[in-house]
Amino acid sequence: MEFDFMSDELQRKLVEVLKEKGLKAATAESLTGGLVSKRITEISGSSEVFECGICSYSNRIKYEILGVPADILEKYTEYSGETAAAMAEGVRKLSGADIGISTTGIAGPNGGTAEKPVGLVYVGISIKNHSFAKELHLSQNLPDERERIRFAASSYALYYALMELENYEF
């Protein structure tokens, strides 16, 4: 399925699929700071399918509110697939939603390392007893690309959620 990642097509389709299946979504966002939630709630009728969005920028919130285990944060850091999957699972369980969607990573321009460079993004998805994360490398080494990375990360989060919903039997 092809999508224009720069339009509102992804969030429109996600809301449509959630409505068709009678499901609810929730988000836990670090890197995107609420952008995934914003994009979902821009769609009229999203109140029928959107439970909550948590901006979990700090590790304290990831741990205390979302229930990301301290050993995951210590061993893998907040910029990891393990953390993204745990964030998605945590928000799904906390909200009672059918699908949890999360984002974490490094938007830059500071904070990157050789091991974890600017543009490293993890999108987490959690449905029932199945939680996973996708690793993305979104930097194009352009000046002022922070917002480009954040928007692309939100698009991938919407896309992976949509793909999981279309392929999952509830």
Stated pTM of the model: 0.95
Mean pLDDT lowest for which of 7-11, 82-86, 144-148?
Answer: 7-11
Is pLDDT above 90 for 5? no
Average pLDDT over residues 145-160: 96
Q: What is d(CA 44, CA 21) in angstroms, rounded to the nearest whole number?
A: 17
Residue 105 lies in a domain: yes
- Per the model's pLDDT, the better-predicted residue between 128 and 32 turns out to be 32
Is pLDDT above 90 for 143? no
CATH number for 24: 3.90.950.20
Residue 125 lies in a domain: yes
Q: What is d(CA 18, CA 55) in angstroms, rounded to the nearest whole number?
A: 22
Q: Which amino acid is at 132?
A: F
Average pLDDT over residues 100-127: 96
Residue 88 lies in a domain: yes
Residue 98 lies in a domain: yes
Please give the pLDDT value at position 167.
Answer: 84
CB neighbours (10 Å) of residue 96?
A: 10
Residue 64 lies in a domain: yes
Average pLDDT over residues 33-57: 98
- Assign 135 to helix, strand or coil: strand
What residue numbers bound the domain in which 94 lies?
9-167
Number of domains observed in the structure of the chain? 1
Average pLDDT over residues 151-162: 97
Residue 1 lies in a domain: no
Average pLDDT over residues 85-94: 98
Please give the pLDDT value at position 141.
Answer: 87
Please give the pLDDT value at position 96.
Answer: 98
Average pLDDT over residues 36-64: 98
Q: Burial level of 140, CB count in 10 A (0-12/13-18/19+)?
A: exposed
User: What are the distances in angstroms from CA 54 to CA 6, 72, 91, 103, 170?
Assistant: 23, 19, 8, 11, 24
Residue 141 lies in a domain: yes
The percentage of residues in the chain with a pLDDT greater than 70, rounded to a whole number, is 95
> Any alpha helices (H) in the chain, and if so which ranges?
9-21, 35-41, 59-64, 70-76, 81-95, 146-167
Residue 120 lies in a domain: yes
